[in-house]
Amino acid sequence: MKATKMSLSSGIIERFREFLPSSKAVVSLGEGNTPLVFSPKLSAIVGRGCEVFIKNEGINPTGSFKDRGMTVAISRAIDNGAHALICASTGNTSASAAAYAARAGIPCAVVLPAGKIATGKLVQAMAHGAKIVPIEGNFDAALRIVQELSEDRKLVVVNSINPDRIAGQKTAAFEIVEDFGDAPDFHLLPVGNAGNITAYWAGYREFHSLGKSTKLPAMIGFQAAGAAPIFHNRVVDNPETIASAIRIGNPASWKHARAALEESKGAINVVTDEEILKAQSWLAQMEGIFVEPASAASIAGLFKCCPSEVGAKSLVEIPDGSRVVCTVTGHGLKDPDSILHSMDNVESVPAEIDKVRRAIGF
Ligand code: F0G
């Protein structure tokens, strides 16, 4: 592989250039090429010879899948002579935009629902020097304002309503097809603003039409029960969930997500906050993969697809021997609050070997 001056490890633009909108500038932090990890325990839970893999997007440079879209959107914005960037965010988009804007040397403003952003994500946007504007309103209001502000064309919007973001994010599907040599049978993922499910479906379809895969997966999306507009088929005015990344009541890519679900013969469903938190600790403790709550929606969703009671109807029929991929979208360190609470029960002991041995307890 040819090493460039920009980076020794190439990002998604260099790897998939022929499938992406063209750009001379390459603003990259070496995103993509994330692990597709076989999960023996999830495979055993699904059973019947099925194999479950986890596409761990928390391993991207800013800790979420947003980096795939951001490298394309910001490279193209630089090509087009943009002077400043703007986005609305539940946290990860702003962290990613701030980092890539810093790399490109261009100012970036992020409009966020006040008091609703996970600590780690806010810290990232601050660290990278973005202009942070908290609003007294939710993500849907923030996105509306950002869209209006961008009409004077001084500000380039880097939310997933920018098609360059979707183009970049579809590379995750490309990687999966390249890793397996084919598409999986099922792809499970969390759904918020619905850009990612749109992007994966576009990626799978593109590689299928080029003959790189023999089949297309059923796309199975999961929304948080208190923020499930697509599932209920109506706007949710006051979305609520512990999974703050997907606390969205009026997703921008709603229609595209519907198309992906219908064309792929997939399904959309909901998981409760309790199911999300349970799946988050299960994944951390059973497979060593620590993800933020929104990301655990895909794992909670998989559990919902495998009812333990005999005769219970499954959400989705997964045939014997299926290959299933669950995308986990963001790193657990971004949103430590739900786990930090359990530190309250951890007491210190004197610095004496016997006391420490007793405290260990095994
Ligand atoms: N998982 C995480 C960790 C996210 O940050 C998001 C979206 C999603 C899932 C849902 O993806 O919106 O494409 O359906 N976060 C956006 C943000 C909204 O502003 O960071 P989606």
pLDDT digits (tens, 9 = 90+) for 299-328: 999 999 987 766 667 788 899 999 999 999
What does the pLDDT average to over 8-23?
92
Higher pLDDT, 345 or 6: 345
pLDDT surpassing 60 at residue 7: no
If pLDDT is split at 50, 70 and 90, which confidence band does 3 have? very low
Which residue's C-alpha comes closest to atom 4 of ligand 1?
245
What is the CB neighbour count within 10 angstroms for residue 56? 22
If we measure between CA atoms, which residue out of 171, 162, 175, 172 comes closest to residue 73?
Answer: 162
What does the pLDDT average to over 227-241?
98
> Which atom of ligand 1 lies at the shortest distance from residue 91's CA?
20
> Which atom of ligand 1 lies at the shortest distance from residue 159's CA?
19
Supply the mean pLDDT for the chain.
Answer: 95
Ligand 1 center to 323 CA (angstroms)? 24
Tens digit of each residue's pLDDT (9 = 90 or more) over 211-226: 999 999 999 999 999 9
pLDDT surpassing 60 at residue 2: no
Ligand 1 center to 212 CA (angstroms)? 28
What is the structure's pLDDT at 8?
60
Task: Choose one of 158, 196, 248 to mutate for the ligand 1 pocket test, by most ligand atoms within 8 angstroms of C-beta.
Answer: 196
The DSSP-derived string for 148-197 is: HHGGGSSEEE-STTSHHHHHHHTHHHHHHHHHHTS--SEEEEE-SSSHHH
What does the pLDDT average to over 44-73?
97
What is the structure's pLDDT at 5?
56
Task: Choose one of 56, 59, 64 to mutate for the ligand 1 pocket test, by most ligand atoms within 8 angstroms of C-beta.
Answer: 64
What does the pLDDT average to over 275-299?
97
Ligand 1 center to 136 CA (angstroms)? 20
Higher pLDDT, 315 or 42: 42
Mean pLDDT check: name the lowest of 79-83, 142-146, 292-296, 310-314.
310-314
What is the structure's pLDDT at 153?
74
What is the structure's pLDDT at 6?
52
Query: Measured between alpha carbons, how far is 88 from 186 in angstroms, rounded to an integer?
Result: 31
